[in-house]
């Protein structure tokens, strides 16, 4: 699984990043993690509100920071 | 009617809170609130508690409504309209779409890059920080419903006219080229559950309060100072109704200032109590919220200087005209 967090470095982007990392850790899954900060790359995903969560190149969440539990559910659906 | 009036006074104006703080100041501190010091303390405590209560309730409600209008949906809706209707709709959607200045750039690229006319995007960008549902209710609480409605109407008017002028000036070539021609995926709308929306709204309340509490404290502090310590003569000498330059002065002071609308409201409140014209006060609020250095710097990354300058001038002149108009007709509203 390939997980990306899109965001330019605002407070919420950092929060989503740490929540996602925590969720990965708790689930103990093997996933690649990448933080995308380049605006053009973010736009290319069609995202207009940061932060966003991308799993296997699909935007799952944008413009909000879900709790660790909710992120775990999203990751488990895969 | 009596019940409505009572609800308005207790829930919106929070007279119970004013009385409670009055009791506390008079019995607790032994100060008369007609006095300078007692009056300032009363204004400070009452305003801060009132603004924070209203703000929390409002942001929660509004975020819940806003979660149904993500910018991706706004973009789709806007694409279907043309001409001045698109500008009007852009301005209206600007009032409900969640927006903080940190997302202005992706929003700008998303809208303009997707082929929305430049003027429509600017209508949206002007109305978004200027008018929202929270400021509408707070204006009704601090002043009255007529002023709140008037503020919203002129805010939207400014956004429509400003956007139309920029749209008609054919300035597309002054947008940085990288904005266009981005491959942009259509985003699947994620379906939010009610629990998601509640969690999102709660988070918005915390985020916004964390971001603006400082502005509110400063705003209320300045408001309290104006209210009780700065002599009426001094204020009316600079900002009095009869001074032709009052609107110019407040606009020029307001433009470089950066504060949230919630921080400017207590200052506006104190100025109106001191007899400053309604138009003068409104132009101050609009100048502070619609134009700020940080948002201009951010816009600078996507548009060239000429377009930025035109945007700045159009909005400033619009604010000044609105200020003078309100000073002329303001007596109808108070």
Residue B77 has pLDDT above 70, yes or no: yes
Residue B290 has pLDDT above 60, yes or no: yes
Check A48 against B107: CB less than 8 A apart: yes
pLDDT, residue B72, reads: 78
| DSSP-derived secondary structure letter, B191 | P
pLDDT, residue B162, reads: 92
Question: Omega into A51 within 30° of 0, i.e. cis?
Answer: yes
Whole-number average pLDDT of chain B: 83
Q: How far apart are CA B104 and CA B282, in angstroms?
A: 24
Residue B100 has pLDDT above 70, yes or no: no
Q: Say whether A8 sits in a helix, a strand or coil.
A: coil
pLDDT grade for B31, boundaries at 50, 70 and 90: confident
pTM of this structure: 0.78
pLDDT, residue B297, reads: 81
Q: How far apart are CA B262 and CA B283, in angstroms?
A: 15
Q: Mean of the pLDDT values across residues B276-290?
A: 86
Q: Name the phi and psi angles at B265, rounded to 5.
A: -60, -45
Residue B187 has pLDDT above 70, yes or no: no
Give which of B185, B189, B202, B206 to mutate to test A binding, by max A Cβ within 10 Å: B185
Q: B47 CB contacts (<8 Å, ≥6 apart)?
A: B220, B223, B224, B266, B269
Closest CB to A48 among B106, B188, B199: B106
The b/e string for B2-41 (b: 16+ C-beta within 10 A; e otherwise) is eeeeeeeeeebbbeebbeebbeebeeeeebebeeeebbbb
Residue B99 has pLDDT above 80, yes or no: no
Cα of A60 to nearest chain B Cα, Å: 7
Show residues of chain A in contact with B196, CB under 8 Å: 64, 66, 70
Check A65 against B203: CB less than 8 A apart: yes
Residue B286 has pLDDT above 90, yes or no: no
The b/e string for B244-273 (b: 16+ C-beta within 10 A; e otherwise) is eebbeebbeebbeebbbbbbbbbbbbbbbe
Q: B105 CB contacts (<8 Å, ≥6 apart)?
A: A39, B298, B299, B301, B302
A3, A5, A6, A13: the active-site residue = A13
pLDDT in tens, A10-69: 778 888 999 999 999 998 888 888 998 887 788 788 787 888 899 888 888 888 888 899
Check B113 against A66: CB less than 8 A apart: no
Check B185 against A46: CB less than 8 A apart: yes
Query: Roughly how many angstroms between the first and final C-alpha of chain A, as a whole number?
Result: 8
Q: Mean of the pLDDT values across residues B243-261?
A: 82
Residue B161 has pLDDT above 90, yes or no: yes
Q: What percent of chain B has pLDDT over 70?
A: 93
Residue B180 has pLDDT above 80, yes or no: no
Closest CB to A49 among B71, B183, B203: B71
pLDDT, residue A22, reads: 92
Show residues of chain A in contact with B98, CB under 8 Å: 49, 63
Task: For tokens 């919630």, name the residue.
Answer: B262
Higher pLDDT, B311 or B103: B311
Q: How far apart are CA B28 and CA B13, in angstroms?
A: 23
Paired residues of A5 in beta bridges = A35, A53
Show residues of chain B in contact with A43, CB under 8 Å: 106, 109-110, 113, 182, 184
Structure tokens at B210: 């964390």
Check B105 against A39: CB less than 8 A apart: yes
pLDDT, residue B160, reads: 94
Residue A7 has pLDDT above 70, yes or no: yes
Query: Roughly how many angstroms between the first and final C-alpha of chain B, as a whole number?
Result: 19
pLDDT grade for B27, boundaries at 50, 70 and 90: confident
Q: Name the phi and psi angles at B51, rounded to 5.
A: -65, -40
A34 part of the active site: no
A10, A11, A39, A41: the active-site residue = A10
A48 part of the active site: no
Residue B242 has pLDDT above 80, yes or no: no
- Other CB atoms within a 10 A radius of the CB of residue B56 amount to 15
Burial tier of B121 (Cβ tally within 10 Å: 0-12, 13-18, 19+):
buried
pLDDT grade for B185, boundaries at 50, 70 and 90: low
Check A63 against B184: CB less than 8 A apart: no
pLDDT, residue B98, reads: 56
């Amino acid at each position: 699984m390939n997980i990306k967090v899109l965001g330019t470095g605002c407070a919420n982007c950092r929060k989503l990043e740490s929540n996602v990392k925590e969720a990965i850790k708790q689930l103990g899954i093997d996933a690649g993690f990448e933080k995308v900060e380049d605006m053009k790359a973010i736009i290319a995903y069609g995202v207009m509100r940061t932060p966003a969560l991308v799993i296997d190149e699909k935007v799952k969440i944008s413009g909000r920071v879900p709790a660790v539990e909710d992120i775990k559910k999203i990751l488990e659906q895969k | 009617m009596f019940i409505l009036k009572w609800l308005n006074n207790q829930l919106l104006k929070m007279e119970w809170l004013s009385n409670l703080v009055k009791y506390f100041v008079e019995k607790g501190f032994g100060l008369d609130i007609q006095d300078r010091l007692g009056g300032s303390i009363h204004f400070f405590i009452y305003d801060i508690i009132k603004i924070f209560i209203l703000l929390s309730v409002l942001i929660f409600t509004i975020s819940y409504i806003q979660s149904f209008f993500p910018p991706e949906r706004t973009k789709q809706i806007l694409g279907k309209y043309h001409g001045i209707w698109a500008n009007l709709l852009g301005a209206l959607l600007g009032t409900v779409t969640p927006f903080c200045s940190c997302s202005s750039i992706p929003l700008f690229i998303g809208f303009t890059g997707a082929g929305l006319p430049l003027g429509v995007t600017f209508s949206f960008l002007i109305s978004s920080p200027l008018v929202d549902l929270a400021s509408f209710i707070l204006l009704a609480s601090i002043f009255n419903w007529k002023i709140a409605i008037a503020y919203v109407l002129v805010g939207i008017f400014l956004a429509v006219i400003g956007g139309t002028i920029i749209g008609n000036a054919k300035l597309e070539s002054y947008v940085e080229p990288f904005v266009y021609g981005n491959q942009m995926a259509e985003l699947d709308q994620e379906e939010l559950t009610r629990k998601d929306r509640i969690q999102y709204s709660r988070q918005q309340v915390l985020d916004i309060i964390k971001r603006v509490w400082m502005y509110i404290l400063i705003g209320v502090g300045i408001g309290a100072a104006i209210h009780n310590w700065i002599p009426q003569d001094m204020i009316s000498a600079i900002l009095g109704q009869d001074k032709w330059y009052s609107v110019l002065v407040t606009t020029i002071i307001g433009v470089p200032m950066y504060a949230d609308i919630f921080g400017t409201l207590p200052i506006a409140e104190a100025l109106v109590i001191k007899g400053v014209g309604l138009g003068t006060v409104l132009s101050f609020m609009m100048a502070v919220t619609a134009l700020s250095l940080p948002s201009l710097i951010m816009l600078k990354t996507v548009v060239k200087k000429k377009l930025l300058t035109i945007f700045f001038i159009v909005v400033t002149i619009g604010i000044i005209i609105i200020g003078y108009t309100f000073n002329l007709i303001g007596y109808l509203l108070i």
